[in-house]
Chains A and B, each alone.
Chain A
């Protein structure tokens, strides 16, 4: 019995249980709505794993989720609630696109330029939120919500600018080719490349039919770096101390306000990186007019929660999330199940994550009651 309780206390196990419970509840919802849950399950699994292309796509699409997840997780660790990841992501896509359109250097310069300009834009927006909190005491949630909308309208304004707007579309031109970081981008569409790939169906699937890029590796590297910053450096320690109890931190001589700004800067930079990599590394390579939020940042919050704010956990949570979104599209396409079931599923998983702290206690109570009855 105590074994069971101890196992449930392990965050990893508790998260796995939440995910399973989330699945079960959504299958129940599906069957209540008149769909065949087992068939849906089978479609979901096959739509992720049945072809190398699908697996590659899931990995590629997980990158922005992992990074915005890291952004939210980092902020959580330092006691801040970065609901502004959405705006930071959007503003980064805007700045990266504009920089990528205006400049045209050699790729060795251009690609870092495009990406870093987006990162800086995100960081500045995040840092501004932190600054307002530190200087004026304005709650970061309220500033973030306002800045999200400001970023959205900035994006719409930029997408409609005459100089960059692509006629008969609702977005800008793609950025200059020198800023595109998809692997083998020129080669794979050349005759030579096509001829080579034709004979090799596996490579054809992975390289030609997806936006193959190195973004995922960058995201993984960032997760490791963030873990190191949070747990192995002085500044990380200070930020966590401010997050735990800013009065105590102040008494210990830590500059609370400066740390708030720093941690929002870093969180903003991570969301910015997500946006910048999306522009540089996935097709369209452009911004579109947004009528509603695309939830890249808001989903990051859910990723961070499923990962319990663990940097490394964000990688796996991001992959799961991305897989579910990808599978949701196939569900709708193949058997007509509304793709929104995925939102419900993720919501339920997050809900159970919220409850997991109580799992051990519930089991304990249950067993205690039983053992009392035995006596």
Chain B
């Protein structure tokens, strides 16, 4: 019994970690007033770069860092379009998705002999209690990926910055009333650039935490829709870091349920069971969450001097 509860918790946390990074990125970007639909593309490129750098250098950490950078570069494109050129952010986001997933497969074919699957990394990211070895059964049960811990830290850090510091206040105001922020002498453009790039870095890390911790290589199906699920988690969590974190845990938990109910000679067909997380989400939204309100200025380009 205890073991199966621990198992459920472990799976929940394992599945949610990549989503947490990506959703956190979404929260930051949207709080600053830039809608980011391109998370999926940024995750894809992060997943590929993480796995391939991890493979070529043999060091998973450098893979993770490069994955963040690659996500950031893609986000920079989004920022240029949506902040400097005041483009439609949805359009630009969809473009980023197409470019991100296309580019990751294209590069994979270039670097891995025409295959869309990279070779497995020699060493995955460490586990939290990895240094203890595998001597104790109990510890093996709760030996989580380091990304789980990192994602939690990232959420707490973001929450702190967002709600307890001057900079956080400014970011939140950016999404509600950018002109007000401008009037006190903060550059709206620069702040939005920083937030969007940060969101790309987080999404890239999220992608890499799939290919460097959960599985050990990039495959075309490694990132298939997690970016959109993260997007849903942002809305589900009402554009708050903690809310998004809980939403991701909820998705992870639903996944754990699927795995646990699926074992053995159960009567429920796998494909029906696999719908569970999505059906649960809709029901929870209908029953409990209700009307969600995005930051007021999210999606609206800011023109300096406008009111």
Restricting to B260-307, which residues have a CB under 8 Å from any CB of A?
Answer: 269, 271-272, 274-275, 277-279, 281-282, 285-286, 289-292
- Does A344 lie within 8 Å of B279, measured CB to CB? no
Distance between Cα atoms of A146 and B224 in the complex (Å): 13
Shortest Cβ distance from B223 into A: residue: A292
List of A residues within 8 angstroms of B114 by Cβ: 336, 338
Interface stretch among A115-123, A152-160, A164-172, A248-256?
A: A152-160
Taking a contact as CB atoms closer than 8 A, the residue among B98, B269, B274, B278 that contacts A350 in the complex is B98
List of B residues within 8 angstroms of A142 by Cβ: 231-232, 235-236, 281, 285
Interchain nearest-CB distance for A146 vs B (Å): 4
- Does B228 lie within 8 Å of A348, measured CB to CB? no
- Does A348 lie within 8 Å of B271, measured CB to CB? no
- Does A139 lie within 8 Å of B275, measured CB to CB? no
**Which of the listed residues A132, A341, A354 has the most CB atoms from chain B within 10 Å of its own CB?**
A354
- Does A350 lie within 8 Å of B91, measured CB to CB? yes
Determine whether B143 belongs to the interface, using a CB cutoff of 8 Å to chain A: no
- Does A350 lie within 8 Å of B94, measured CB to CB? yes
- Does A358 lie within 8 Å of B228, measured CB to CB? no
- Does A146 lie within 8 Å of B281, measured CB to CB? yes
List of B residues within 8 angstroms of A354 by Cβ: 81-82, 85, 87-88, 91-92, 95
Distance between Cα atoms of A56 and B41 in the complex (Å): 32
List of B residues within 8 angstroms of A146 by Cβ: 232, 278-279, 281-282
List of B residues within 8 angstroms of A150 by Cβ: 275, 278-279
Interchain nearest-CB distance for A187 vs B (Å): 39
- Does B105 lie within 8 Å of A302, measured CB to CB? no
List of A residues within 8 angstroms of B86 by Cβ: 357-358
List of B residues within 8 angstroms of A137 by Cβ: 290-292
Residue tally, chain B, CB below 8 Å to A: 52
Residue tally, chain A, CB below 8 Å to B: 47
Determine whether B103 belongs to the interface, using a CB cutoff of 8 Å to chain A: yes
- Does A293 lie within 8 Å of B77, measured CB to CB? no
Taking a contact as CB atoms closer than 8 A, the residue among B85, B109, B285 that contacts A358 in the complex is B85
Q: What 1/0 mask marks residues of chain B from 200 to 240 whose CB sits below 8 Å from any chain A CB?
A: 00000000000000000000110011001101100110000
List of A residues within 8 angstroms of B97 by Cβ: 298, 347
List of B residues within 8 angstroms of A353 by Cβ: 91, 95
Given contacts A137-B291, A139-B235, A351-B81, contact A302 B281 (CB under 8 A): no
- Does A33 lie within 8 Å of B271, measured CB to CB? no
Determine whether B242 belongs to the interface, using a CB cutoff of 8 Å to chain A: no
List B residues at the A interface (Cβ < 8 Å): 41, 77, 81-82, 85-88, 90-92, 94-103, 105-106, 109-110, 114, 220-221, 224-225, 228-229, 231-232, 235-236, 269, 271-272, 274-275, 277-279, 281-282, 285-286, 289-292
Query: Can you give 20 contacting A-B residue pairs, CB < 8 Å?
Result: A137-B290, A138-B286, A138-B292, A141-B232, A142-B231, A146-B281, A147-B282, A150-B279, A153-B271, A153-B272, A156-B274, A157-B271, A301-B94, A302-B94, A340-B105, A343-B102, A347-B97, A347-B100, A350-B98, A354-B88
Given contacts A138-B289, A346-B98, 18 further A-B contacts (CB under 8 A): A33-B106, A138-B282, A141-B231, A145-B225, A146-B232, A153-B271, A153-B275, A292-B220, A340-B102, A347-B96, A347-B97, A347-B100, A347-B102, A348-B95, A350-B95, A351-B92, A354-B91, A358-B86
List A residues at the B interface (Cβ < 8 Å): 29, 33, 81, 83, 132, 136-139, 141-143, 145-150, 153-154, 156-157, 160, 291-293, 298, 301-302, 305, 336, 338, 340-344, 346-348, 350-351, 353-355, 357-358
